[in-house]
Amino acid sequence: MSHNPLLSAFNTPYHTPPFNEINVSHFEPAFNEAIKEGKAEITLIADNNDAPSFENTVEALEQSGKNLTIISQIFFNLNHAATNEEIQKIARNVSPLLTEYSNDIWLNPVLFEKVKTIYDQKEQLNLKPDALKLLEDTYKGFVRRGALLAGDTREKYREITKDLGQLSLQFGENVLAETNGFKLHLTNEADLSGLPGAVVEAAASLAKSEDKEGWLFSLHFPSYYPFMKYADNRELREKMFKAYTVRGNQGNKHDNNDIIRKIVSLRLEKAKLLGFNSHADYVLEERMAQSASKVNSFLQELLDASLSFAQDDVKEVAEFAAKQGLTDALQRWDFLYYSEKLKTEKLGLNDEMLKPYFQLENVEKGVFGLANRLYGLTFKANKDIPVYHEEVLAYEVYNADGSFLSVLYVDYFPRPSKQGGAWMTSFLDQHKTASKDIRPQVSLVMNFTRPTNSQPSLLTFMEVKTFLHEFGHALHGMLSKVTYESQSGTNVYRDFVELPSQILENWATEKEWLQDVGIHYQSGEVIPDELIEKIIASDNFQSGYATVRQLSFGLNDMAWHSLTEPFTGDISTFERDAIAATELFPMVNGSSTSTAFSHIFDGGYSAGYYGYKWAEVLDADAFEAFKEKGIFDAATANSFRTNILEKGGTCHPLELYKAFRGKEPSIEPLLKRSGLIKK
């Protein structure tokens, strides 16, 4: 067999993936070899005749399969950010092999007996807190993955997990295909009325790239969102809206309806095999929220606080639209358009006024600068680090004392091979070996507005916030300071993981930081105080509507995963019933959130989407600590770093939070920040 770079030591800076040497054809042989190697490591642990100990069983399990983990992280990150048909085919081939490998560990009775023996004597072992947590998590991991099952139920569990892996992959492939499958082709210049020049230029560039005359608009967010916000042509807005909201719900080969039925029913069946009433009960056992009833009461509390504000927001936009000449009911494809016009009239502010101040390169510099002011970090570009796509940039990250901290990859722009949205991921998580602190390799993947022939990439204010959000996740990964890889960085409860990301968004409405980042791309002028004041004043604009919209996603997710019987019904009807309390507009036939809801059907957020709002409670409360001492206060930042960012999943999140804040979080700062308290 020819040389396979995935099966050799990486001869690259910081042992980063050698993307310049990796071909797609290398992956399947590498997976097969790494699985074989991992199985051999597991066999050694199981067959060890020495008395089971924390070191020879729990730590050995933690350290097994390292090469498989590295290959998997490289491959599945590519499948999300730079995929093609060949990669997708390999994903379908290796997914069941990886599920089988995992099941062979968790369902191994000899291994479980060894772990249980150690777990039963945990009080006598005098383990450090992180080691004790690893032992407890390992034991729970076995139980939650079927170790107590026997006979037919054990085999059924194997089948279910294998099927779920394939179905999730297919769901994501379908959403990407549907997103890429529609483009609005315009040849009449009049149809561009209302659209900013940069948006029109980007559409012309897209059309040219596909050898078409005129302008092309896609369902990728940097194209779709400004079209919905600015296009005067209402019929075209409706057309775009409907194309976006029927993804996965068109009865074609990319339809996700039956996949959802299968996923939710299989997740339920798996939960019941393991002794839970629903998938939500299964998931929430390992979350801060702990139970479906607590999540639902939390969502209801926020809905009660925000619904009347949301109704007022929609009413205000509807009345404004009527004054602007809209003669029939305000529809979903009207809201963003008229809301933006109302914001301009009311606050003298819109995205187009701000974008010239948010050139991507300056925002990046400002975000890196924030990490420097808070944590003393510095960033140095390194073109010798191989990247998986020519647009990706790689940075070395250093601590204040000059010690190396992490590699950071950034991948800013949309392309057909990349899934929508924005996310942080990693090619290697921080952990320690006997002799070395292995530093992480973190990646940020965005879908920001591309540069055009006439201007650089200029970000909307929402994109600035997105950058801060994902960079907060990156800090969680980069600043990790733990022993065990499974406890590293973002390997924490899902309803806690958004705290480090969301707290960083708070700096987007702080004058001191905005002056650092807001530099006019042509004149070099610092963003004026007047605009900063408008940004701060506009932060709560329509926050009732925004809150209820987020709650609708959380309620939809909880409804799907609180099912206690297999689901055979109509997806759209179920969804409508689930979010009925949040509805602010007339129904649109064919529209479905669920059929493109990748977070919960192709991501890790099933029974967990509420976590964004849950973590908002934490981040609003936590940011109060910064406001009390100063938003760049070194002692507060150091406390957040040492108590939360460095600790990963080494102990319960509430304990970490209280160590930082000195108390449990309160919901009041969030309601106050969002303007959801009646005056």
Residue carrying the six token digits 């007996």: 113
pLDDT attached to residue 677: 80
Looking at the chain, how many residues does it have?
679
**Residue 678 confidence (pLDDT) above 80:** no
* Across 267-275, average pLDDT: 97
- Among residues 4, 3, 19, the alpha carbon closest in space to that of 407 is found at 19
Q: How far is the C-alpha of 362 from the C-alpha of 358, rounded, in Å?
A: 7
DSSP 449-486: PPP-SSS--B--HHHHHHHHHHHHHHHHHHT---S-GG
pLDDT, tens digit (0-9, with 9 covering 90-100), for 117-129: 999 999 999 999 9
Point out the catalytic residue in the list 470, 498, 510, 624: 470
CB 542 within 8 A of CB 506: no
The pLDDT, as a whole number, for residue 509 is 96
Domain ranges, ordered by start, for the chain: 5-106+108-144, 182-245, 356-539
Of 329, 184, 170, residue with least CA distance to 261: 170
When the pLDDT of each residue in the chain is averaged and rounded to a whole number, the result is 96
Identify whether 470 is a catalytic site residue: yes
Closest by Cα among 468, 416, 437 to 178: 416
Task: Report which of 565, 558, 566 is spatially closest to residue 606, judged by C-alpha positions.
Answer: 558
Q: What is the structure's pLDDT at 95?
A: 96
Q: What confidence score (pLDDT) does residue 679 get?
A: 54
Comparing 198-212, 251-265, 454-468, 665-679, the range with the smallest average pLDDT is 665-679
- What value does the mean pLDDT take over residues 287-298? 94
- Please tell me whether residue 186 adopts helix, strand or coil conformation: strand
Q: What is the pLDDT of residue 237?
A: 98
Rounded to two decimals, the pTM is 0.94
Distance CA 65, CA 255 (A): 36
Mean pLDDT of 593-620: 95
- Residues with Cβ < 8 Å from 403, sequence gap 6 or more? none
Phi, psi angles (nearest 5°) of residue 31? -60, -50
What does the pLDDT average to over 448-456?
A: 92
What is the CATH code of the structural domain delimited by 5-106+108-144? 1.20.1050.40
Cβ atoms < 10 Å from Cβ of 58: 25
Distance CA 103, CA 112 (A): 12
pLDDT reported for residue 676: 85
Percent of the chain past pLDDT 90, that is, above it, reads 96
Q: Give the closest residue to 159 by CA, choosing from 220, 235, 123, 107.
A: 107
Does the structural domain 356-539 have CATH classification 3.40.50.300? no
The answer to whether residue 2 scores a pLDDT higher than 90 is no
- The stretches of 488-567 forming alpha helices (DSSP H) are 498-505, 511-517, 529-538, 543-561
User: Which tens digit of pLDDT belongs to each residue from 17-72?
Assistant: 999 999 999 999 999 999 999 999 999 999 999 999 999 999 999 999 999 999 99
| Closest to 132 measured CA to CA, from 57, 42, 58, 52 | 58
Q: What is the pLDDT of residues 485-511, one digit of tens each?
A: 999 999 999 999 999 999 999 999 999
At which residue do the structure tokens 């997103």 appear?
A: 179
Instruction: Output the six-digit token pair for 305.
Output: 């606080």
> Please, are residues 168 and 161 in contact by the beta-carbon 8 Å criterion?
no
pLDDT exceeds 80 at position 634: yes
- Please give the structure tokens belonging to residue 154: 């054990």
Q: How far apart are CA 296 and CA 293, in angstroms?
A: 5
**356-539 has the same fold as 5-106+108-144:** no
d(CA 127, CA 666): 33
Asked whether the predicted pLDDT for residue 675 surpasses 90, the reply is no
Looking at residue 482, its pLDDT comes to 98
Using the predicted structure, report yes or no on whether residue 377 has a pLDDT greater than 60. yes
Token pair 């987007």 is found at: 508
Is residue 395 within 8 Å of 379, Cβ to Cβ? yes
